[in-house]
Amino acid sequence: MTDTVIQVQALRKTYGAFTAVDGIDFDIRRGETFALLGPNGAGKSTTIEILEGYRHRTSGDVHVLGVDPQRGGLDWKARLGIVLQSSGDTGNVTVRELLTEFAGYYPRPRSVDEVIAAVGLETKAKVRIGKLSGGQRRRLDVALGIVGRPELLFLDEPTTGFDPEARRQFWDLIRSLKAEGTSILLTTHYLDEAAQLGDRAAVISGGRIVAIGAMDEIGGAAARTPLVRWTDAAGTVHEQRTTEPGSVVAGLFRDGGEPRALEVVRPSLEDIYLGLIRDAPSAEDLLVEEPA
């Protein structure tokens, strides 16, 4: 047992002239939920597929649960849980039949009925996969990822297709897995989901990590500076970033009566994320011609 379940150093993946992942470094600690955030095409899926052993890297060092994913055997794979963005159709079996089959692949699986209940599919246990709705199928994907009681769980856009209530239930499930000691790597486009579930996050853009840190620190202090916005008597809108918004507001009342449309905006994770990727180069900006 070590304190680190994933170690990534100088990871690169190229396809001809295109660099999908460009020398990234990060680690994930045991029992941590780590969010990998970024726009489509940023390199998230490529990175995860390398960590899962599905794709070979061009260069760099990677260890997952102490093993190079390119050399991981069945015993190593049995320690992982994987929820992909999409999965193949297995419509000729029921939910319980499919989960029972998958549970048999692992040395110490969870109870199938426990997993079905955890993802809210009790009423669909005897329904064939092909009859499930998109959201119900997504819940089944999550069930397949956790039935083996993984040490490390990969969640790639896990709540796509979930309604708001189902997403909240899923968050409770992830919290319970974390409480049991499961380490989790999460990718999501829902920034509120990352904020709710993540301990730390890395933002990747153009194949490079542009920020990494604890959820309440990522982006640095400057990115979290509150914004005071108001409209003066002439109808002009003013904005001022300040670490002391109370003093600025008090000054406005002293100097000119009551300002209109006064608000103090404290940047959310989404605001910080959008600022980071807006300022970062895109993958296309980093594309170079191969040498002759």
Q: For residue range 246-274, what is the model confidence (pLDDT) as tens digits?
A: 888 888 887 666 788 888 888 888 888 88
User: Which residue, among 207, 227, 239, 223, has the nearest Cα to 273 in the 3D structure?
Assistant: 223
The pLDDT value given to residue 59: 96
The predicted structure's pLDDT at residue 255: 67
Return the DSSP state at 268.
P
Number of C-beta neighbours around residue 260 at 10 A: 11
Give tens-digit pLDDT for 167-204: 888 888 889 889 989 999 999 988 999 999 999 999 99
Across the strands, what pairs with 15? Answer: 18
Task: Please compute the mean of the pLDDT values over residues 123-151 and round it to a whole number.
Answer: 91
What percent of the chain clears pLDDT 70, i.e. is strictly above it? 92
Tell me: pLDDT of 72 over 60.
Answer: yes
List Cβ neighbours of 247 (8 Å cut-off, separation of 6 or more). none
Residue 147, SS3? coil
Q: Scanning the structure block, which residue is given the tokens 């900006």? A: 285
Rounded to 5 degrees, what are φ and ψ at 273?
-60, -50
Strand extents, DSSP E, 16-124: 18-29, 33-37, 59-64, 80-83
Domain ranges of the chain: 226-266
- Decide: pTM greater than 0.85: no
